[in-house]
Amino acid sequence: MGEFELIQNYFAAGAAPAKGVVLGIGDDCALLEPSSAGQVLAVSIDTLVEGRHFLPGTPPEHLATRMLGAAVSDLAAMGATPAGFTLALTLPKADPSWLEPFSQALAQRARELEIPLIGGDTTAGPLTLTAQVQGWVDPQQVLTRNGAQVGDLVCVSGTLGDSHAGLRLQLEPEQGARLDGAERDYLQQRFYCPQPRLKLGQTLLGWASAAIDVSDGLLADLGHILGRSGVGAQVELTQLPLSAPLKAMAGAEALQWAASGGEDFELCFTLPKRFAGELPRLAERAGINLAIIGEIVAEEELKVFEQQREVMPAQAGFDHFGGAQ
């Protein structure tokens, strides 16, 4: 199978006409049209390398759903509306038994997230997947990391730590001995098929002062907001939202996993205190529960408390180069 045939069979064929896509796969560039005047393009790229970000032999459909979920989560964190994505694929060989499930899972996930595949690049080499996502957002309202103000509430969506639990289940299934089938499925899904909080990001436009998606771990990612905003925060660990399956699996370590586990792809955001009363309405509109876990303070430090007693979490989060943050 040649490169042209591969693209045609697995990627171009599934691409349906999509809103805002003037020209999709097949020419030298794709062409996108903003849905309203004055919007700016939000662009982000993510790479998964075999042996580094996933184990050899990982099912291709899991790679597709993880890659696209993680990439689109960056659009969610800025409050952007998806426009399209490109895919750079480096494959050891053109293997239909890999390409078929990968491309099908990718196309289905792309439909669900309403983000069309608009182009890409295909090369031979060690298995590497790169997705570049693009979305439209109003530059006056866009959610960035640098807007947190002293007194703002620190909030998170959904539940934390589930993806870390799902990863552990994959590496050591016996750790899930206490879980029933539904609990195990839930945690594994949270790892394999992250749900970018697109609706929440868009709902927070005009309300939140700063936002980030939780990819490295809550404390590490909150640290990025603090660094960029030039402020500090106090966080109460007992306020972190935990799922029942996580509690069943992690026991006494549940808060630790929620504070430091990566890849939950929930949103962590800061909200001016005068909007605190809006939180239930924002949660309802976005279709996800929202929890207040702390407050922004002037002293440029992240302090973590457990039942009001200051604690030192063992690790603040995952870092690719092994540094503290």
Which listed residue (17, 28, 307, 323) binds Mg ion by CB under 5 A?
28
Burial of 241 (0-12, 13-18, 19+ CB in 10 A): middle
Distance CA 247, CA 243 (A): 6
Other CB atoms within a 10 A radius of the CB of residue 41 amount to 12
Tokens of 254: 């549940």
Rounded-to-integer distance, Cα 323 and Cα 325, Å: 6
117: partner contacted, choices Mg ion, ligand ADP, none (Cβ within 5-8 A by kind): ligand ADP
Can you tell me whether residue 97 is helix, strand or coil?
A: helix
Token duo for residue 187: 């945690």
Q: Which does 148 bind (CB under 5 to 8 A by kind): Mg ion, ligand ADP, none?
A: none
Q: What are the angstrom distances between the C-alpha of 305 and each of 126, 216, 225, 252?
A: 44, 20, 19, 16
Q: How far is the CB of 27 from Mg ion (least distance, A)?
A: 8
Residue 214 touches which member of ligand ADP, Mg ion, none, C-beta under 5-8 Å by kind: none
121, interface contact from Mg ion, ligand ADP, none, CB < 5-8 Å by kind: ligand ADP
**65 or 234: whose CB is closer to ligand ADP?**
65
Dihedrals phi, psi of 124, to nearest 5 degrees: -95, 140
What is the C-alpha separation between 146 and 140, in angstroms, rounded? 14
Work out how close the CB of 75 gets to ligand ADP at its nearest, in angstroms, rounded to a whole number.
19
Distance CA 200, CA 22 (A): 28
Query: Nearer Cβ to ligand ADP, position 8 or 289?
Result: 8
How far is it, in rounded angstroms, from Cα 193 to Cα 106?
A: 11
Contact footprint for ligand ADP (CB under 6 A):
7, 11, 25-28, 87, 89, 117, 119-122
The structure tokens listed for 185 are: 């499925």
Choose one: 20-28, 63-71, 148-156, 316-324; the region binding Mg ion (CB under 5 A).
20-28
User: Where do the H-state alpha helices sit in 161-276?
Assistant: 162-171, 181-192, 198-204, 218-229, 244-250, 254-260
* Contact between 172 and Mg ion per CB under 5 A: no
CB of 4 to Mg ion, least distance (A): 13
**Which lies closer to ligand ADP via its Cβ, residue 125 or residue 139?**
125
| Contacted entry of ligand ADP, Mg ion, none for residue 119, CB cut-off 5 to 8 Å set by kind | ligand ADP
CB closer to Mg ion, 32 vs 153: 32
Type of residue at 182:
A
Decide which of ligand ADP, Mg ion, none touches 122; Cβ closer than 5 to 8 Å per partner kind.
Answer: ligand ADP
**Least Å distance between CB 119 and ligand ADP?**
3
Return all residues near 171 (Cβ < 8 A) that are at least 6 apart. none
- Tell me the β-bridge partners of 172: none
Q: Which is nearer to Mg ion, 7 or 246 (CB)?
A: 7
Minimum Å distance from CB 321 to ligand ADP? 29
Nearer to ligand ADP, 88 or 292 (CB): 88
Closer of 28 and 174 to Mg ion (Cβ): 28
Chain residues that interact with Mg ion, rule: CB under 5 A: 28
